Amino acid sequence: MKKPTRRADRLAAAAATDEPPAMPKLEHAPMSDIIDALASGRVTAAALTKAYLTRIEAYDRDGPTLNSVRALNPDALTIAGKLDGTRPSVKRPLAGVPILLKDNIATADKQPTTAGSLALEGARARDDATIVKLLRQAGAVILGKANLTEFANILAIDMPSGYSSLGGQVKNPYAPTLMDDRGIPVVTPGGSSSGSAVAVAAGLCAASIGTETSGSLLYPASQNGVVTVKPTVGLISRAGIVPIAHSQDTAGPMTRTVRDAAMLLNVLAVKDPLDPATARQRRPADYAAGLARDAIKGARIGVPSDPADPLNDRYYGKLPPSWVKVMTETIKVLEDLGAVIVRANMPTAGWLAGPGTTMAVLNRNPLSPNKGNPMMQWIVFLYELKHDLNLYLKDWATGTAIKTIADIVAFNEAHAERALRFGQDLFLAANATRGDLTEREYKSARAMDLLAARTRGMDAYMSQHKLDAVLFPGSGGCAISAKAGYPSVMVPAGLISGVDDKDTPDYPLGVTFAGLAWSEHKLLRLAYAFEQATNMRKTPPGLLAR
């Protein structure tokens, strides 16, 4: 790990000196503790915001240069100062709480909304995304925009997680070393919401908001030891979020504790006429209610791994030894807490990539070991991308000449040296579609996705075995839940090390509790009980304030 510079040490020391005795330890303080400190008057919103900005300067811009924050909100301190006299309450539960947004979430302020793309550098939005309005109404201080994999990792095949042409490369705070030859992390920071996850893990904000289409919340949460909720599609409005595919896109919280994630869901889960999917929303009055240490007792949890049927062991059969150790310990904890563990493989018919769901795309990535080979990609993603992105650019983007995906492709080709380090093969494939979702192959692919992932997959599996949840290692179950539109909750479970044949420092591995539509509250209760019994989240080394 690169040692912090003298400047970083000085900044961190200054932050520690300037903090009043009651300032929470930001490197590991949960959002709930920060809210308590604000509510009691022990700390002000302005002091808290300033302390986070100091940590960003010390560790994201300097020191290990994590590069998780793409841009800061120039008005953050002003907004915080205006909230100094407002303490968190039932009406404004996040008053004074600094939160980062993934840079594909629109804000109608001085901050651009770029999705990490040079083509959208300086682009702004006509209005706040619905979830941004909800956060502001709850009193949150929008601290800035988090870096991400460009266009949420739908630009190019084999683009490294956390890389964007505008923001550069996000690093994993537990193992920030890059490969010398290519500048790609040895230990990935995870999926496209990597900046949001790294910022939370490193204590650069109280919480963050990321997005997922398939794994982009769960994977970075696992890799960085934080909690996330990938909600049921329709629980949280997508209005004002740069899209990939409306069939699967959703936003979600990234936090240091399960309770914090539940508290953010309370704010974000609101029906929105701008997103018709939210009309079906079902939610409890309070996601934080009922979080208890004994919530696992009697719960039936499916482990999709049957030793008697190893050829069909899709999710556990090929895990590395370090993963096996963490999952074995996790299952024992669940059993000790009173869970009924049901070992049974997911039905083969529920596996993904069924007939007509994928298409070949030529890999043009100049740095990919698979360059020149056709790679199978999800049809639904590529067909919905052109349709949905063109609508966003038309209805939300302002201050830019970019109006269609074709404009982005042309811009990137004209600025290839900076914009196309890893190519744009997926955008080329998406741009070749009609863009109106009338093609029979798209309709068939969407129907087959639902048949496999939902009807023959999660629905059949959970019904047959009468399950409350399914336990997946890491983010291994992200695709089947995402295609079904179903929720997942990720919680830290242990530490692993090594990538392929390379030695690395220890870094986190999480476990996923997945369930059927609108079961977020049940999943949060299970995750909370596991979290309280294990306390597996560890602060990244070298990022302590004192």
Q: Where are the alpha helices (DSSP H) in 114-257?
A: 130-137, 194-201, 218-224
User: Do the beta carbons of residue 342 and residue 301 sit within 8 Å?
Assistant: yes
Question: Residue with structure tokens 């537990």?
Answer: 174
Report whether pLDDT(111) > 60.
Answer: yes
pLDDT tier for residue 404 given thresholds of 50, 70 and 90:
very high
Whether the pLDDT of residue 529 is over 60: the answer is yes
User: Could you tell me what percentage of the chain is helix, strand and coil, using 3-state DSSP and rounding each to the nearest 5?
Assistant: 35, 15, 50
Q: On the CB side of 373, how many CA atoms lie within 13 Å of its CA?
A: 10
Residue 373 has pLDDT above 50, yes or no: yes
Contact status, residue 90 vs residue 102, Cβ threshold 8 Å: no
CB 271 within 8 A of CB 281: yes
CA distance 419 to 118: 6
Please give the helix or strand (H or E) that residue 336 lies within, else none. Answer: helix 321-336
Rg of the chain over Cα atoms, rounded to whole angstroms, equals: 22
Helix (H/G/I), strand (E/B), else coil: 241 = strand
3-state secondary structure 5-36: CHHHHHHHHHHHHHCCCCCCCCCCCCHHHHHH
**Alpha-carbon gap, residue 517 to 481, rounded angstroms:** 10
- What pLDDT, on the 0 to 100 scale, is given for residue 545? 60
219-223-225-226 Cα dihedral, nearest 10 degrees: -30
**Angle (nearest 5°) at CA 350 between 346 and 356:** 155
The percent of residues in the chain predicted with pLDDT above 90, rounded, is: 90
DSSP codes of every residue in 441-492: HHHHHHHHHIIIIIIIIIIHHHHHHT-SEEEEETTTTHHHHHHHT--EEEEE
The tens digit of pLDDT for each residue in 417-453 reads: 999 999 999 999 999 999 999 999 999 999 999 999 9
Q: Which residues pair with 467 in a beta bridge?
A: none
Residue 88's nearest CA partner among 40, 143, 49 is: 40
Q: Are 16 and 55 in contact (CB under 8 A)?
A: no
Measure the N-to-C terminal CA separation of the chain; round to a whole number of Å: 18
Cite the active site residues: 102, 192, 216
**Residue 320: which of 470, 480, 499 has the closest Cα?**
499
Burial class from Cβ neighbours inside 10 Å (0-12, 13-18, 19+) for residue 66 reads buried
Amino acid letter, residue 543: L
Q: What is the pTM of this model?
A: 0.95
**Torsion angle, alpha carbons of 30, 189, 152, 122, to 10:** 80
Residue-range domains of the chain with CATH: 6-280 (3.90.1300.10), 358-443 (no CATH)
- 3-state per-residue secondary structure call for 49-72: HHHHHHHHHHHHHCCCCCCCEEEE
500 pLDDT tier (thresholds 50, 70, 90): confident
Q: Which of 12-26, 55-69, 92-106, 327-341 has the lowest mean pLDDT?
A: 12-26
C-alpha separations of 219 from 47, 191, 487 in Å? 32, 5, 14
Phi, psi of 109, deg, nearest 5: -135, -155
Q: Say whether pLDDT at 20 is over 90.
A: no
CA-based nearest residue to 302, from 338, 358, 346, 240: 346
Confidence of residue 350 (pLDDT cuts 50, 70, 90): confident
Each residue of 274-304: pLDDT tens digit?
999 999 999 999 999 999 999 999 999 999 9
246-262 mean pLDDT: 98
Helix or strand (DSSP H, E) at 341: strand 340-343
Contact indicator for 492, 537 with CB cutoff of 8 Å = yes
Cα separation, 445 vs 359, whole angstroms:
10
Residue 503: band (very low, low, confident or very high) from pLDDT cuts 50, 70, 90: very high
Q: Report percent pLDDT > 70 for the chain.
A: 95
pLDDT higher than threshold 70 for residue 2: no
Q: Please give the structure tokens belonging to residue 230.
A: 């990938």
Is 15 a residue whose pLDDT tops 70?
no
The DSSP letter of residue 242 is -
Cα–Cα distance, 257 to 259 (Å, whole number): 5
Give the ranges where 253-320 is alpha helix by DSSP (H). Answer: 258-268
Calculate mean pLDDT across residues 366-393. Answer: 96
Confidence of residue 354 (pLDDT cuts 50, 70, 90): confident
Query: CA 42 → CA 20, 326, 493, distances in Å?
Result: 8, 39, 33
What does the alpha-carbon distance between residue 36 and residue 206 come to, in Å, rounded to a whole number? 12
Beta-ladder partners of 489: 229, 513
Cα–Cα distance for residue pair 27/23, rounded to 1 Å: 11
Q: Could you tell me whether strands 163-164 and 300-303 are parallel, antiparallel, or unpaired per DSSP bridges?
A: unpaired
Q: Is the pLDDT of residue 181 over 90?
A: no
Element (H, E) at 262: helix 258-268
